[in-house]
């Protein structure tokens, strides 16, 4: 077993133990099950893809941190995570009072981390699978995080409408904020932008052909229009081959 495999196996073990501990006696079992739908779908996909697309240790580390943060939110339900009590126990004062918070902001933190921690693994996928280079290697991960954030908000809304009652409200977690979904999407987008800005800064310092790659990525590769003209060309090629 390679050092990389050992490292990734260690990450998987850390998350597995962390998740199992937090799976015991959550605040609300039904809400916990809904919140963990993300884990039940994502983890098998990551395990399956490990043989076909093995990501960097950095990407798996970022994914592990995010899933651990999500596991905490699922255990307590996001609006009830006692981070302020923990802060008070360690530092002797209220973090919420110091920052002027009037609500539990753990959900906002995790939405920001969704973009900040997952944009880089998505960038790695875009580069290694889709061949994205230059500008597109930074722009497309941000767009994907924005799209995933929007999709997640739609899933939350659908679940709240479907289940209703306390379960729906706990899962939605608006805490009385009518703009909660908009703020969550904005934070995820900001996190992705920050992640790509850091990545771009590192590459700008270390990548010798950074400027050339950026310029090449914005160059027109095919001057031929698509749409109806592409259909006409394909029909012409089909007629030519049939003759």
- C-alpha distance from residue 89 to each of 66, 72, 82 (Å): 24, 18, 11
Structure confidence at residue 141 (pLDDT): 97
Structure confidence at residue 103 (pLDDT): 84
| Range in 68-72, 95-99, 141-145 the model is least confident about | 95-99
- The SS3 of residue 62 is helix
- The SS3 of residue 56 is coil
Structure confidence at residue 170 (pLDDT): 55
| Range in 52-66, 98-112, 146-160, 170-184 the model is least confident about | 170-184
Of 126 and 241, more confident: 126
The b-or-e profile of 75-91 (16+ CB within 10 A means b, else e) is bbbbbebeebeeeeeee
Structure confidence at residue 183 (pLDDT): 85
The pLDDT > 90 percentage for the chain reads 63
Rounded CA-CA distance 243/22 in Å is 68
The DSSP H or E segment spanning 226 is none
Q: Based on the number of CB atoms within 10 Å of its own CB, is 169 exposed (0-12), middle (13-18) or buried (19 or more)?
A: middle
How do the domains of the chain map onto residue ranges?
A: 18-219
| Cβ atoms 134, 213 nearer than 8 A | yes
Q: Is the predicted pLDDT of residue 34 greater than 60, yes or no?
A: yes
Structure confidence at residue 136 (pLDDT): 97
Q: What confidence tens digit (pLDDT) does each residue in 147-181 have?
A: 999 988 888 777 777 766 665 555 555 555 666 77
Q: What confidence tens digit (pLDDT) does each residue in 171-223 have?
A: 555 555 666 778 889 999 999 999 999 999 999 999 999 999 999 999 998 89
Q: What is the mean pLDDT of residues 133-156?
A: 92
179 — phi, psi (to 5°)? -105, 20
Which of the four pLDDT bands, split at 50, 70 and 90, describes residue 23? very high
Of 51 and 12, more confident: 12
- The SS3 of residue 54 is coil
Mean pLDDT of the chain: 89
The b-or-e profile of 142-168 (16+ CB within 10 A means b, else e) is bebbbebbeebbeebeebbeebeeebb
| Cβ atoms 78, 107 nearer than 8 A | yes
Token pair 């981390």 is found at 113
The DSSP H or E segment spanning 103 is none
Structure confidence at residue 165 (pLDDT): 60
């Amino acid at each position: 077993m390679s050092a990389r495999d050992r490292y990734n196996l260690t990450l998987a073990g850390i998350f597995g133990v962390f998740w199992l501990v937090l799976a015991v006696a959550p605040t609300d079992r039904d809400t916990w099950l809904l919140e963990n739908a993300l884990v039940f779908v994502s983890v098998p996909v990551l395990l399956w893809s490990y043989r076909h697309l093995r990501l960097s240790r950095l990407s798996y580390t970022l994914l592990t941190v995010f899933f651990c943060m999500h596991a905490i939110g699922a255990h307590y339900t996001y609006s009830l995570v006692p981070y302020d009590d923990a802060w008070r126990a360690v530092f002797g004062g209220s973090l919420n009072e110091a920052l002027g918070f009037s609500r539990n902001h753990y959900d906002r933190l995790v939405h920001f981390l969704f973009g900040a921690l997952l944009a880089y693994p998505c960038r790695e996928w875009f580069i290694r699978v889709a061949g994205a280079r230059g500008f597109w290697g930074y722009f497309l991960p941000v767009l994907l995080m924005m799209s995933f954030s929007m999709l997640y908000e739609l899933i939350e809304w659908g679940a709240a409408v479907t289940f209703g009652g306390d379960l729906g409200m706990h899962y939605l977690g608006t805490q009385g904020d009518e703009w909660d979904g908009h703020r969550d999407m904005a934070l995820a987008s900001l996190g992705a932008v920050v992640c790509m800005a850091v990545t771009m800064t590192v590459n700008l310092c270390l990548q010798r052909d950074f400027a050339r790659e950026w310029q090449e990525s914005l160059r027109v590769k095919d001057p031929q229009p698509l749409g109806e003209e592409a259909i006409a060309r394909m029909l012409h090629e089909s007629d030519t081959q049939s003759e």
